Amino acid sequence: MELTYSNQLDGFDPEKRYRNPEHFDKPEAGVTRVSVIGDWPSVVDAYEAAGIDVSVKEAKRVQDVGAADQAELVKVITALRAEHGSIQILIDGLEAGEIRRPETGDLALRLFDVLGTIHSSVVELTAERDGLRGEIEALKKAPLVPPADEAGEIAALKAKLDEAKVQYRANASKESLEKLVAELTKD
């Protein structure tokens, strides 16, 4: 079995077996060959002492940053920390049930503005919903009787059908009653 010792985070070959050299304490049994990526002398020495073939590859190095770049990085990190703090204050306020405008932080201020717009939309939708609920309740309570003039027409149609001894449903619509009356005149 071949093992590769590496502390890489990605780029793994699915055909190989990997171990993290940071957790190495002794050589594993059954190993026939070892590849070590990076500077891990304890891994190399232990496997060589056990008579196992060891190959060492240099790990990819991070480019050293110059002093000017470091100063710029410090500025960016400081700005990110301040931004994080402002966003954290905004989130803490939201969790407490209130929205407070942060004093600094471009992203936090933009987030506050967007949340304010969302809040306004929710308030409007809630008002519309409540208004519709009121209308629905009023409709539920309204009697289901036709207007007075239509009620008279329906009564007249039913009287004609009763006189002709034609059966109809008690809750028949005006249109269906009119059809039945029209059929009377055809005969």
- If asked whether residues 72 and 134 sit together in one domain, one would say yes
Instruction: Tell me the pLDDT band of 96, cut-offs 50, 70 and 90.
Output: confident
Provide the number of structural domains found in the chain. Answer: 3
- If asked whether residues 108 and 125 sit together in one domain, one would say yes
Instruction: Tell me the pLDDT band of 146, cut-offs 50, 70 and 90.
Output: low
Query: Does 13 map to a domain?
Result: yes
- If asked whether residues 104 and 89 sit together in one domain, one would say yes
- If asked whether residues 130 and 71 sit together in one domain, one would say yes
- If asked whether residues 90 and 124 sit together in one domain, one would say yes
20, 5 in Cβ contact below 8 A?
A: yes
Read off the pLDDT of residues 16-74 as tens digits, 9 standing for 90 and up. Answer: 999 999 999 999 999 999 999 999 999 999 999 999 999 999 877 655 566 677 888 88
- If asked whether residues 120 and 180 sit together in one domain, one would say no
Is the pLDDT at 123 greater than 80? The verdict is yes
- If asked whether residues 35 and 77 sit together in one domain, one would say no
For 15, the domain range is: 2-57
The pTM of the full predicted model, rounded to 2 decimals, is 0.38
Is the pLDDT at 145 greater than 70? The verdict is no
Query: For residue 75, what are the contacts with CB-CB under 8 A and spacing of at least 6?
Result: none
